[in-house]
Amino acid sequence: MNTHHIIITGASRGIGQAIALLYASMGWNISICCRHKSPDMEHTKAQITAAGGQYFAFYGDMGNPEDAEAFVTKSVQTFGIPEIFVNNAGISHIGLLQDMTPQQWDDLLHTNLSSVFYTSRIIIPYFLQEKHGRIINISSVWGNVGASTEAAYSASKGGVNALTKALAKELAPSGIPVNAVACGMIDTSMNAFLDPDELSALTEEIPAGRAGTPEEAAALVRQVAEAPEYMTGQIITLDGGWI
């Protein structure tokens, strides 16, 4: 039985799903979660099995501390302490800040930023016990530079970047790297709100001339996970030269 284990939050589709399938193809045990049961999650589970991996699936909100603790604890009970923990769960919000409700703000910040705190505080003691482990946070270029009509999303990803750098300093003496991958435009359902003209105009701004793929993001996550331990506290951008 393969003892390699990776935990990925928010992995029912998009980048999280691509990471899960990449590691499943390597024979790893995969722990994944999403807020609710959905056809996307069922599809991901079937694909993991088809790719040769085993999975533990959890349904819960990583923006809720009790759900986050339950997910991490049950994942460790199922497959043991992971080698890699990927904080990928996230939602977006498009609109003027003045039109955003406090509830929408709180939901986005809890899902995108607080979730990283909730999961990290549970997994870190396991990593310290093993003197091994890596945390990789999925961020965004908007966390680096900000985006009009995405103020809350930008704020949440800017928080993820700052948390990544600070936590890396805390854990570096223990040999536990913490890094983030800041994605530009990736071809996922999060961009489904764009009509063809908007999509075309956006890709024209990207020097690479196209959106990135979830598989490219997953490949970079693997590279970060396999990088020397000395590489920590980095926000690595994947955006086709856009920002």
* Residue-averaged pLDDT of the chain: 95
Q: Closest by alpha carbon to 19, among 92, 124, 89, 68?
A: 89
Task: Answer yes or no: is 198 within a domain.
Answer: yes
pLDDT tens, position by position, 95-112: 999 999 999 999 999 999
The confidence score (pLDDT) of residue 193 equals 67
Contact 119, 72 (CB under 8 A): yes
Which residues are part of the catalytic machinery? 153
Helix (H, G, I), strand (E, B) or coil at 185: coil
Q: Identify the domain containing residue 114 by its residue range.
A: 5-235
Task: Answer yes or no: is 243 within a domain.
Answer: no
Task: Answer yes or no: is 242 within a domain.
Answer: no
CA-to-CA dists, residue 87 to 169, 200, 204, angstroms? 18, 30, 30
Contact 235, 182 (CB under 8 A): yes
CATH of the domain at 148: 3.40.50.720
Residue 75 structure tokens: 């994942």
pLDDT tens, position by position, 115-149: 999 999 999 999 999 999 999 999 999 999 999 99
Task: Answer yes or no: is 158 within a domain.
Answer: yes
pLDDT tens, position by position, 56-79: 999 999 999 999 999 999 999 999
The confidence score (pLDDT) of residue 194 equals 73
Q: Name the pTM for this structure.
A: 0.96
Residue whose tokens read 């899902």: 111
pLDDT tens, position by position, 217-236: 999 999 999 999 999 999 99
Task: Answer yes or no: is 240 within a domain.
Answer: no
CA-to-CA dists, residue 120 to 131, 172, 179, 206, angstroms? 15, 15, 13, 33
